Structure 1
């Protein structure tokens, strides 16, 4: 009996060690854009917590008590950086000092490829996901961070990161082909705030954001009047609201300028996972994914400005 009990205890101990060695990697991310990469690269090997859901403005987001607990328990914390999550900076610093691994994946992009921020001196525009050619740097940074945190799965993460990268690269090709149908003189994108400057540079749009790069300050009367005058002068047919910013300012500019509201674009957050939109060509886009969100935005812009 004693021998049998000893064998049981040895077996139980071995199983416990095995289970512990294959425990899921606990990862906390700030935005839904980064979460989409982690889901694609980390898969079932990752226990993922996302701080900001659909429609949440990262410029204004403050950590909750639950967020802090999740970060304190995490093996890895990933955030965009470049001042996107301005009000979380202190929290990230504190948990990093407590021994958590905290990485600003957006800061993996070479500085010479970043745009200057109009809001912060000596800072960069944080909305890097709107240029797929820049976003591949972030995919690589996420893949490397996951591999370093769980070396046993490094090869698997690398394989998935490569596959995801190829999809992002194909997205850039698709977008350029889609936008080519839009005459250059119509490539003027007016939105709530300056989230689309990387998009404009990558795809040849003049971008006008009523507010600055950050949404921390509201647009003034002069901003609204000047934007409406610009729209009338250029005869811009459509302007756009954003999913994470109040539509009030754009709706007022629409009334003042005569331009229609061409649709709602996703800017600082993805949509809800599984939320499908049908494009002009009948393709369905899951706006809860980075690829689907980007295609939906491009389709919406081209459809509204091309009329």
Structure 2
């Protein structure tokens, strides 16, 4: 069945690329995660048609392509995905396409490998949650500008203009994040979440970050993991821990219960957006809105 899916995608994709070369029509772009969809829409504007595979609250680590996704992929001119094995179940499909010289682009290629956070516990050996450092997202913005300009050179000026405007907003976001975090004492900057999605955030903004699960939500947390982290929370006097929108809340609730059973009252500080943005049409449904919301939620709960 997989071979049939690969063949359908590759045949359809090759035909759509040929068609794109022969017309001046709108560039058809497919994206995976909501973060990438938001970025590509900001840069491409009216000159591209973007179809995202994943919606709000969707876990990319466990996502499987549907029949509708196969149709979207087959008719795309360009596909942007995260890379670094973020989209675990789709990796084989994208690698198969790339081997046929089809336009599948991992946005992680924008970053120097030396700046990536490694992990001995994850298949790619690198943490794929690269969007949680705004500096990374600025580099990825320019990368997407360049790739869209290659695909549609007649609109290069528009893509570059949109890219510069968006990067200016990212710089403002970065300053606002730092200002908000500066109100939280350094000793309180300990972030405990459902899985290890926030290491780039911790590295960029001075937080100690601990996840109950590993980098991929496919990794299950055991009883020993819960007890070990419960002890850490008590030792560090962590005031609040956080649910993630794309991860079942039962894992953090189990951690809270384990801590409270030891006589320490830790609160659930709120829900953070990790592997997906909020609902489309809301402030949190944008990368900038999501990041602002997350930082405000973290700082307010840990103060």
Query: C-alpha distance in 1, partners of 2:123/2:24?
Result: 45
**Residue 90 of structure 2 aligns to a residue in which SS?**
helix
Query: C-alpha distance in 2, partners of 1:178/1:212?
Result: 28
2:27 matches 1:25: yes
- Identify the residue that residue 195 of structure 1 maps to in structure 2: 197
- Identify the residue that residue 268 of structure 1 maps to in structure 2: 275
1:122 CA displacement: 6.3
- Identify the residue that residue 17 of structure 1 maps to in structure 2: none
1:229 aligned to which of 222, 231, 250: 231
So what's the TM-score if we normalise by structure 1?
A: 0.87
Over the residues paired in the alignment, what is the CA RMSD in angstroms? 1.3
1:157 CA displacement: 0.2
Q: Kindly tell me: are residues 98 and 68 of structure 1, through their superposed partners in 2, closer, same or farther at Cα, counting changes over 3 Å? A: farther
Q: Kindly tell me: are residues 122 and 217 of structure 1, through their superposed partners in 2, closer, same or farther at Cα, counting changes over 3 Å? A: closer
Q: Deviations over 1:45-77 (max 9, x none)?
A: 111110110000001111112212211111100
Deviates more, 1:224-233 or 1:190-199: 224-233
Q: Deviations over 1:150-188 (max 9, x none)?
A: 111011001101111111122111101100000011000
- In structure 2, the gaps of 5 or more residues are 1-21, 260-264
Map 1:86-101 to 2 at 5 A. Answer: 86-98=88-100, 100-101=102-103
**Residue 58 of structure 2 aligns to a residue in which SS?**
coil
- Identify the residue that residue 295 of structure 2 maps to in structure 1: 298
Decide which structure has the larger Cα Rg and report it: 1
1:120 CA displacement: 2.5
- Identify the residue that residue 143 of structure 1 maps to in structure 2: 145
Q: Deviations over 1:95-133 (max 9, x none)?
A: 334553111011210111111024236621110100001
1:59 aligned to which of 58, 61, 65: 61
1:93 CA displacement: 2.4
- Identify the residue that residue 155 of structure 2 maps to in structure 1: 153
So what's the TM-score if we normalise by structure 2?
A: 0.88
Query: C-alpha distance in 1, partners of 2:206/2:87?
Result: 27
- Identify the residue that residue 73 of structure 2 maps to in structure 1: 71
Query: C-alpha distance in 2, partners of 1:134/1:22?
Result: 32
Query: C-alpha distance in 2, partners of 1:92/1:190?
Result: 33
**Residue 285 of structure 2 aligns to a residue in which SS?**
coil
Q: Deviations over 1:162-218 (max 9, x none)?
A: 111111122111101100000011000000000000000111000010011111121
Map 1:199-210 to 2 at 5 A. Answer: 199-210=201-212
When the two structures are aligned, how many residues end up with a matched partner?
Answer: 277
1:254 CA displacement: 1.3
Map 1:226-265 to 2 at 5 A. Answer: 226-257=228-259, 258-265=265-272
Query: C-alpha distance in 1, partners of 2:129/2:244?
Result: 14
1:21 CA displacement: 4.2
- Which structure would you say has the larger RCO, counting Cα contacts within 8 Å and 6 or more residues apart? 2
